[in-house]
Chain A
Amino acid sequence: MIQLKNVSKKFSNNGQKPVQALKETNLVINQGEFVAIVGPSGSGKSSMMNILGMLDRPTSGEYYFENREINTLSEDELASIRNKKIGFVFQKFHLLPKTTALENVELPLLYSDRKNIRGLALDALKQVGLEERATHRANELSGGQQQRVAIARALVNEPEIIFADEPTGNLDSASGQEIMKIFQELNEAGKTIVLITHDLTIAAYAKRTIQIHDGIVNEN
């Protein structure tokens, strides 16, 4: 499903020495996998997630998504792939605060050609057990609930793969476990999940762990 060939990412900050966030990375992720990418902060795992999630482009190397070379695609084409094939869950949830849970979940559907937006969003909320909170505003929900809304938003357009960047980072351990269980269930139902974390206990929920250190990938 995903293949990185010699992918590197360099950041150059005005005049300062460029930072090599990813070095000659090779990686394959197959459909239905539950992969954890683990590393300390500054290890390059966020750069990895941004490239895998098509939010950023590699400086060099090739990225194949469903056998399609991503580097040659335009910004709009990438946006369209993100919309249809990828779901994101962020550490800070990134919900629209004064907006209801349901409307937050609907957001990706605004940029798709799907019909019955409301119904699909309700179904997604049901999947994460939050249908009763549908009309609550995001800022009225607890952290765990907010992250579940974010997962529903990632699921709503039925993506092939979900990227979760430190999804439990802002949650207490009980809520964190709940969230991880949801990911497990989703994976059991066939979704490909890529989890980015520095926390080995969280990474333990995944079936496969990839270590990243100083931009270099090591598979266990």
Chain B
Amino acid sequence: MNKKETLKSSLRILKRNKMRTFFMVLGIIIGVASLSITFTIGRGFQKQITERAKKYLGSSDILVTAVKIKLEGKSVDNNLVSSLTIDDLKAIASEIPLVSTYAPVQFLPNCEIIAGNKNISTSVRGSSATGQIVWNRGVIKGDYFDDAEELNATRVALIGTKIAETLFGESDPIGAQIRIGDVPFTVKGVLEPKGIDPHGNDMDFDIVVPITTMMKRLMNVDYIAMAKIVISDENRMDEAVSGITAVLNERHHITNGESDFLILTPTFVKEKIKEMTKVFNVFLPLISLIALLAAGIVIVVLMLMSVNERISEIGLRKAVGARSKDVVSQFLIEVSITSLLGGIIGITIGLICFKVFCSIIKISFFIPWQIYVFGVLLPILVGIIAGIIPARKAAKYNPIEALR
């Protein structure tokens, strides 16, 4: 069989039966578009969360949180009384040489911040002087607080750019007085803008004060909520985690395995994200697959109709020398072209929707490689599987009966 000419003649046949071709293509378009939309959106969410999580937790970072902070929850329970202390962190740093630095964290949500006649409600975070390295966030104006201020529990605050804008507008906030609740503070610096954190909070509304000031003057507690520990070799993460676990178990007298702390590593977070986005990555595409199956059924029905309409054409082709396999190929080529066309239009629609989605959730557009499988291989496969029965039926016709 002359492949080039057969391909051309298949294209002509499809063109001349516009209605049938249209519905076959449409079925595939709907299947492939819904599949690629749900799949890419799942990937998009995953990328968004991963990017945010990376800002929060680098590859050599470990988060130690007092029990049971939930990564997917809004924030740490503010009534949580924890047994995690700064002394625990000091012990970890001295006993595990892999630990290069760390920063403790304590939160106080929904604080009223007052400056002059303006006020805003936001959460306040206590950190250490090392915080600017550990959290990779310095100041764009003024200075970060230092070790001495941390040691003396000085009332200095670093404010996010949006806080500065809200409270001080155009004027310079450095050196200005603010009140956190009833406690007066001096603004020492304006924090680098960071955008949205993994919990969906705008980090530019952050206020950071020395951890000691936070514990003694704002909360009156002797424990911390969590800490971020940075290790010197990311390849020895497991070793660091087991070291930290051992130190904390010993210091907290934990013997029965019921820890009062949770250690989050980048790997752990990645797993969590995968679990969270499972509904998008697995279940929704599975549902869309049903749409593609429906397209397959449409193809079977339309092809059977096509075969019935074209009995005399099939008879003629066989009379002039087409072998059975030529007839089968002819129908399969037709269905493959239709499916491929539907697939390409389907993924194009899917990717356009995804591009819009990316700009809405503010991530950079990307094309997951699986989309080519969905858009090209899968529809052809569905088409061929759906087309094989009608095609073989066509090939079985006896030329004399078909020509009658």
Residues of chain A at the chain B interface (Cβ within 8 Å): 50, 53, 55-56, 75-76, 79-80, 82-84, 88, 90, 94, 96, 98-99, 103, 106-114, 117, 153, 157
> Which residues of B are found within 8 Å of A117, using beta-carbon distances?
2, 5
The verdict on A94 contacting B316 (CB below 8 Å), with A55-B399, A75-B324, A111-B323 known, is yes
Determine whether the beta carbon of B320 is less than 8 Å from that of A113: no
Known contacts A76-B324, A111-B320; 20 further A-B pairs (Cβ under 8 A): A55-B319, A55-B399, A56-B400, A76-B323, A79-B318, A80-B321, A82-B320, A83-B321, A88-B320, A94-B315, A94-B403, A98-B16, A108-B320, A109-B5, A110-B2, A110-B322, A111-B1, A111-B323, A112-B2, A114-B2
> Which residues of A are found within 8 Å of B312, using beta-carbon distances?
94
- The count of residues in chain B whose C-beta lies closer than 8 Å to any C-beta of chain A is 25
Please pick, from A53, A111, A157, the residue contacting B322 in the complex, using a CB distance under 8 A: A111
- Report the nearest A residue to B17, measured CB to CB: A98
Please pick, from A53, A75, A90, A96, the residue contacting B323 in the complex, using a CB distance under 8 A: A75
Tell me if B172 is interfacial: C-beta within 8 Å of chain A: no
Determine whether the beta carbon of B321 is less than 8 Å from that of A79: yes
Residues of chain B at the chain A interface (Cβ within 8 Å): 1-2, 5-6, 9, 12, 16, 312-313, 315-326, 398-400, 403
> Which residues of A are found within 8 Å of B1, using beta-carbon distances?
110-111
Determine whether the beta carbon of B313 is less than 8 Å from that of A110: no
| 20 A-B residue pairings within 8 Å (CB atoms) | A56-B398, A79-B321, A79-B322, A79-B323, A79-B326, A82-B321, A88-B319, A94-B312, A94-B403, A107-B316, A108-B320, A108-B321, A110-B2, A110-B322, A111-B2, A111-B317, A111-B320, A111-B322, A117-B5, A157-B321
> Which residues of B are found within 8 Å of A75, using beta-carbon distances?
323-324
Chain A proximity of B135: nearest CB distance (Å): 71
Chain A proximity of B253: nearest CB distance (Å): 84
Chain B proximity of A135: nearest CB distance (Å): 13
Determine whether the beta carbon of B16 is less than 8 Å from that of A109: no
Chain A proximity of B178: nearest CB distance (Å): 81
Q: How many angstroms between the C-alpha atoms of A88 and B319 in the bound complex?
A: 8
> Which residues of B are found within 8 Å of A53, using beta-carbon distances?
319
> Which residues of B are found within 8 Å of A107, using beta-carbon distances?
316-317, 320
- Report the nearest A residue to B4, measured CB to CB: A117
Chain A proximity of B348: nearest CB distance (Å): 29
> Which residues of A are found within 8 Å of B12, using beta-carbon distances?
99, 103
Determine whether the beta carbon of A153 is less than 8 Å from that of B399: no
Instruction: Please name the 8 residue pairs, one residue from A and one from B, whose CB atoms are nearest each other, closest first.
Output: A83-B321, A111-B321, A108-B320, A98-B16, A76-B323, A79-B323, A94-B316, A55-B399
Q: How many angstroms between the C-alpha atoms of A157 and B398 in the bound complex?
A: 22
> Which residues of A are found within 8 Å of B321, using beta-carbon distances?
79-80, 82-84, 108, 111-112, 157
- Report the nearest A residue to B317, measured CB to CB: A107
> Which residues of A are found within 8 Å of B323, using beta-carbon distances?
75-76, 79-80, 111
- Report the nearest B residue to A79, measured CB to CB: B323
Q: How many angstroms between the C-alpha atoms of A90 and B9 in the bound complex?
A: 22
Please pick, from B9, B313, B322, the residue contacting A103 in the complex, using a CB distance under 8 A: B9
Which of B6, B321, B398: most chain A Cβ within 10 A? B321
- Report the nearest A residue to B3, measured CB to CB: A110
- Report the nearest A residue to B315, measured CB to CB: A94
Please pick, from B5, B315, B399, the residue contacting A110 in the complex, using a CB distance under 8 A: B5
Which of A79, A88, A107, A113: most chain B Cβ within 10 A? A79
Q: How many angstroms between the C-alpha atoms of A113 and B321 in the bound complex?
A: 12
Chain B proximity of A19: nearest CB distance (Å): 15
Q: How many angstroms between the C-alpha atoms of A112 and B2 in the bound complex?
A: 7
Chain B proximity of A150: nearest CB distance (Å): 10
The verdict on A83 contacting B320 (CB below 8 Å), with A96-B313, A98-B16 known, is yes
Which of A53, A88, A107: most chain B Cβ within 10 A? A107
> Which residues of B are found within 8 Å of A110, using beta-carbon distances?
1-2, 5-6, 9, 322
Determine whether the beta carbon of B9 is less than 8 Å from that of A82: no
Determine whether the beta carbon of A113 is less than 8 Å from that of B322: no
Which of A82, A111, A117, A157: most chain B Cβ within 10 A? A111
Chain B proximity of A99: nearest CB distance (Å): 7
Q: How many angstroms between the C-alpha atoms of A108 and B319 in the bound complex?
A: 9
Chain A proximity of B77: nearest CB distance (Å): 73
- Report the nearest A residue to B1, measured CB to CB: A111
The verdict on A50 contacting B400 (CB below 8 Å), with A96-B313, A110-B2, A112-B2 known, is yes
Q: How many angstroms between the C-alpha atoms of A112 and B313 in the bound complex?
A: 18
Q: How many angstroms between the C-alpha atoms of A216 and B315 in the bound complex?
A: 28
- Report the nearest A residue to B330, measured CB to CB: A110
Q: How many angstroms between the C-alpha atoms of A153 and B321 in the bound complex?
A: 12
- Report the nearest A residue to B5, measured CB to CB: A110
